Amino acid sequence: MQINCRFQYFRNLRLYDKVNIEFISPQTLTAYYKKNTFPIAVQHSYQESAAKLANYLINRQL
């Protein structure tokens, strides 16, 4: 049931054409942080993945 709901969620995101949606794989982030440092100190471990993604997206645009 959970897999089916997740599939429908991603399918609906792809059909929504008013916003550009891009999926970033965990492998992309791993490769990026092998070459670059992570300059942000997070307070809790559950914040780390979101902070890494945000940092990657910001620095990719520079």
pLDDT at 11: 74
| pLDDT band (50, 70, 90) for residue 57 | very high
pLDDT at 18: 72
For the chain, the 3-state helix, strand and coil shares in percent, each to the nearest 5, are 65, 0, 35
Contact 24, 15 (CB under 8 A): no
5-18 average pLDDT score:
70
- Residues sharing a CB contact under 8 Å with residue 51, sequence separation 6 or more, in sequence order: 38, 40, 42
pLDDT in tens, 13-38: 667 677 777 889 999 999 999 999 99
